[in-house]
Amino acid sequence: MATFYNQATLSFDGRTLTSNQTEGEVVTRVTLAKTAVSSDYTPNGNIVYAVTLVNTDDTVKTNISLTDNLGAFTPVGSTELVPLSYVGGSVLYYQNGILQPTPTVNAGPPLVISGIDIPAGGNVIILYEVQANEFAPRGENATITNTVEANGEGLCDELTGTATTPTKNAPELSIAKAICPQTVSCGDEVTYTFIIQNTGNTQVVATDNLIVSDLFNPALTNITVTLNGATLNEETGYTYNEQTGEFTTIGGAIPLPAATFTRDPETGVVNTTPGVAVLTITGTI
């Protein structure tokens, strides 16, 4: 709602008179609210948005369009970047809770959803899905702020709604294993190498209880274990059973840094450098 004021002026015979001041109020008959159904986002992960339009007027509002900026922002020293991409076919359009045929969708950017009618004294809910793309911020506590605007017949003012979604603050781990040499004979020495990577935005600490386990078959004897080139001691760093070949690191013995993220100054793409830990186990077959 907005209050407005108005005053008239009367001029005659070189004199000027003013009237009393009137006061009026513009009442908003249609309201818009936007929320992110998803609590956070991950790289290449999806976010679901809900846009609610409520019409308190006694006439239907027709041919309404929603324009979503898909989180567009301009980093310092860069051109405008759009960190979200519309997921095709994801729009759901409800009038008073009843699913309607899909309205016209232009994926953009910006995303435009048009041909929406809001029933008199009723409401409309629009659901749609977007994906965090290569321009999406990925560092710890990063956010994407997304704005939608509604325009159309019977709307006195431009309606806007904003939702801010944080990135998921968590490690994202992967592990790869290699053996050298690949061809061995009984009594030969062999080395297993485990490369553990963290592409997430937070580090792995002792309380995260990261554990690497393996069952060597055939079992190894006289093993030596290193972590990032430094010797890892048995009992404090790992346990191993030469009879069964069962190897397990002690929980918390392997710290893992967070990934680092840099934005290419020319393309705006966010590049990820994983945090890495290298575990090697050498023993005799």
Distances in Å between the Cα of 247 and the Cα atoms of 212, 216, 250 are 8, 8, 10
User: Considering only CA atoms, which of 32, 50, 65, 49 is closest in space to residue 130?
Assistant: 49
> From the centroid of its chain, how far is CA 91?
19
Q: Work out the average pLDDT over 202-225.
A: 95
Give yes or no for residue 19 having a pLDDT over 80.
no
199 vs 196: CA distance, rounded Å: 10
Residue ranges with strand state E in 56-202: 61-68, 84-86, 92-95, 98-100, 104-106, 111-118, 123-132, 143-151, 159-166, 173-180, 189-198
CATH assignment, 26-166: 2.60.40.740
Residues 68/110, Cβ–Cβ less than 8 Å: yes
What are the tens digits of pLDDT across the range 178-200?
A: 999 999 888 899 999 999 999 99
User: Considering only CA atoms, which of 168, 172, 162 is closest in space to residue 138?
Assistant: 168
Share of the chain above pLDDT 90, in %: 81
- Summary mean pLDDT of the chain: 92
Domains of the chain: which residue ranges? Answer: 26-166, 173-284
User: Considering only CA atoms, which of 166, 164, 190, 167 is closest in space to residue 179?
Assistant: 190
Which pTM was predicted?
Answer: 0.81
Beta partners for 192? 179, 281
Domain 173-284 part of CATH 1.25.40: no
Q: Work out the average pLDDT over 232-246.
A: 95
Fold match between domain 26-166 and domain 173-284: yes
User: Considering only CA atoms, which of 193, 197, 132, 118 is closest in space to residue 168?
Assistant: 132
